[in-house]
């Protein structure tokens, strides 16, 4: 069945270091992925997305890599800041009208 999962439930990084959050998916037909950030007490916030015709997409301090061969994607955050502390989800649209979210990875930035 469909699944979008994250390799680690928690990740702690030192402020200024780079963070890498991983996500595996099982549906070979999945062709679009979205990363969301959810801070405590708030709804998820769109960070970046990637389509399957791309291997890499860059935003401001964030990069998403997609490896279709092993059905894996990662979110890289450069120069991690305390404000990056949150739960990060990868999400996969199921059909046209809803998103399937993984469990999430809690990123803690150590000052």
Minimum distance, C-beta of residue 10 to other proteins, in the bound complex (Å): 11
Question: Smaller CB distance to other proteins: residue 10 or 14?
Answer: 10
In the chain, which ranges are continuous DSSP H helix?
none
Q: Is 102 in the site for other proteins (CB under 8 A)?
A: yes
R_g over Cα of the chain? 13
DSSP letter assigned to residue 59: -
Question: Smaller CB distance to other proteins: residue 23 or 109?
Answer: 23
Task: Select from 34, 50, 66, 77 the one that contacts other proteins (CB under 8 A).
Answer: 34
Q: Is 25 in the site for other proteins (CB under 8 A)?
A: no
Q: Is 107 in the site for other proteins (CB under 8 A)?
A: no
C-alpha span between 77 and 30 (Å, rounded): 24
Q: Is 83 in the site for other proteins (CB under 8 A)?
A: no
C-alpha span between 73 and 92 (Å, rounded): 11
Compute CA 92 distance to the chain's CA centroid, rounded to the nearest angstrom: 11
């Amino acid at each position: 069945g469909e699944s979008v999962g994250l390799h680690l439930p928690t990740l702690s990084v030192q402020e200024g270091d780079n963070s890498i959050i991983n996500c595996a998916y099982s549906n070979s037909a999945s062709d679009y992925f979205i990363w969301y950030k959810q801070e405590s007490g708030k709804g998820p916030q769109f960070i970046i997305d990637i389509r399957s015709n791309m291997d890499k997409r860059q935003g401001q301090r964030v990069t998403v890599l997609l490896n279709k061969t092993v059905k894996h994607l990662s979110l890289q955050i450069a120069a991690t800041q305390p404000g990056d502390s949150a739960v990060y989800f990868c999400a996969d649209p199921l059909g046209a009208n809803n998103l399937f979210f993984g469990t999430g990875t809690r990123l803690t930035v150590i000052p």
